[in-house]
Amino acid sequence: MDAVVSVFPNGIKELHTTRSWDFVGLPQQVTRRTSVESDLIIGMLDTGIWPESQSFDDQYFSAPPTKWKGTCQSSLNFTCNKKIIGAKYYRINGEFPSGDIQSPRDTEGHGSHTASIAAGRSVSNASLYGLGSGIARGGVPSARIAVYKICWSDSCYDADILAAFDDAIADGVDIISLSVGGSSPYQYFEDSIAIGAFHSMKNGILTWNSAGNSGPDPQTVTNLSPWSLSVADSTIDRRFVTDGVSINTFDLEDQYPLVYGGDVPNTEAGYSGSESRLEAKLSSAIGLNGTIIAGAVGAIMQDDFNDAAFSFPISSTYLRTNDGTEVYNYLHKTRKPTGRILKSSEKGLESAPFVVSFSSRGPNAITSDILKPDLSAPGVDILAAWSEGTTVTGNIHGDKRVVPYNIISGTSMACPHATAAAIYVKSFNPTMSPTAIKSALMTTVQTVRQNLLRVWSNKSNKSCTSCTSQTDATVWDLNYPSFTISSSKNSKITRVFHRTVTNVGTPVSTYRATIVAPERLNVRVEPSLITFRSIGQKQLFVVSITAEINDSMISGSLLWDDGVHLVRSPIVAYAST
């Protein structure tokens, strides 16, 4: 069949689930081109949206932009407005999970959360039971939202993802935000997200992806295509704590008996003590599924990765392992141990931003010399709109808290931050191409201490998967904003990168190259001085990198500086296996 490009199984993908915009330097008073921003449309491929949320109110909005060609799948329980200008849902196999609503309405919470982070209206006094109280707002509150519901309670299917991409492209969106990904990487043209992003790029639409929540192990990022942008998750300068770390909306007013979960297994449910299921008033163990059934009022857990807080259906807290050991010792050395878990409180986080532990890391499992993730954005403890068709914890048994705003973490929350930043740039530069906007963000972001790339990979560096003599090329020929080299351990390697830059700053300007690199990384740039005479003028330069690679990653950067603007490209070399 001539019309069939490829065939692959209909696999599934998973969701990569106030203060943040101030933290990244986009305050409420920031200069905006509101009329232009209002003509820009964000395509949200997610779990749908809760249209009644104040974040999506359409007061003072004019009619949708004339370029909009999409539709709204209205129903008895869902209508669009001048803010949510389009909405569709997809389930090509026709089999809807029990309890899910067959409409673009969000009953998971995830889609409403991501949409409001990107483009939610400003809403005063938003909070989760007083936590995170303030003005909840998106990065581009005047932008329009087009909803494509691809995810249900049982995940997100490839066929639905591809159908949504086709519709979003045809409908006229300006950018696609997709906080969804596979559990493992696939070759680009066996990956529905990479395929959809490729077609959107060909139509002048950039796709922004979440990197995934499988860190801190290396080579866990799954959205890898060079024609999309992958976003890792970093912290903001606020965290929520109890005696440990959690989003705890409960406040136990009294002391309760404290027991170790392994000593009181939920035998009625068939668990043994070794499985640490809970059956007590206030328990110290890991696992919550049996807690409420057993009648416990709280749970104390331990984990050394506690740089993000999470919600539970009962009063809970996470302790570091050494603190958990102290609780365990107290519990077994005291005749009648008791405990109390306080409601969470807010504290500052001076070390922010840093990449959170669960954020998926590189290197790229498909093309080792393309650096992924591309950048990080706030995604830890983010307050944003929520669906009132679910609970704080997403319908976990026993949770009856229905809220309009919720605090959750994930690269899913980081992705719409980057999406909104791109739309903000586009509102001032309407003719800037998607790849130029991607490059602008990648080369002007703040650097953080953690390396997103860890040592681990050895894959093909072909930039095409079905190469011919006419299309065969290497990744070093791509005009990518970063430079990456991989080679075998204890080797010395040289790569040459050809790059083209376009002036989008001051019409007449001269940029000087500066190299920041350790001893084992030798970098030369020719020419080291670039002069522009007009906006849009292009110039060529060549970067030659020689790296002495042992068993650790080395990194540096190339800086272009005209005295006003600073453009930074990361340089990374690492040992593949």
Q: What is the DSSP string of 480-522?
A: -SSEEEEEETTEEEEEEEEEEEE--S-SSEEEEEEEE--TTEE
Catalytic residue among 100, 106, 110, 112: 110
Q: Which of 412, 482, 557, 576 is catalytic?
A: 412
Backbone angles phi, psi at 404, to 5 degrees: -85, -20
Sorted by sequence, the CB contacts under 8 Å of residue 94 that are 6+ apart come out as none
Residue with tokens 């009962």: 314
Other Cβ atoms less than 10 A from the Cβ of 152: the count is 23
What's the token pair of residue 522?
């030798």
Phi, psi of 293, deg, nearest 5: -60, -35
Close Cβ partners of 343 (under 8 Å, ≥ 6 residues apart): 242, 248, 249, 250, 251
Name the E strands within 16-62: 41-46
Q: Quote the distance between the C-alpha of residue 12 and its chain's center.
A: 18
CA distance 443 to 281: 53
Q: Are 143 and 41 in contact (CB under 8 A)?
A: yes
User: What single string gives the DSSP state of each residue in 70-105?
Assistant: --B--BTTB---SSEEEEEE--TT--PPTT--SSSB
Q: Look-up: residue for tokens 């409180």? A: 345
Token pair listed for 182: 């596979």
User: Chain centroid to CA 389: how far?
Assistant: 23
Active site residue 46: yes
Residue type, 278: L
Active site residue 412: yes
The whole-angstrom separation of Cα 248 and Cα 132 is: 12
Closest CA to 122 of 385, 473, 450: 385
| Strand-strand pairing, 509-516 and 554-561 | antiparallel
> Looking only at Cα atoms, what is the longest distance across the chain?
81
Spatial separation of the C-alpha atoms in residues 317 and 246, rounded to whole Å: 5
- In angstroms, rounded to a whole number, what is the distance separating the alpha carbons of residues 120 and 551? 45
Closest CA to 367 of 444, 449, 482: 482
**373 cis-preceded (ω within 30 degrees of 0):** yes
110 catalytic residue (yes or no): yes
- Which position has the token pair 């809760």? 50
Residues in the chain: 577
**Which one of the listed residues 20, 39, 46, 315 is annotated catalytic?**
46
The residues carrying an active-site annotation are 46, 110, 412
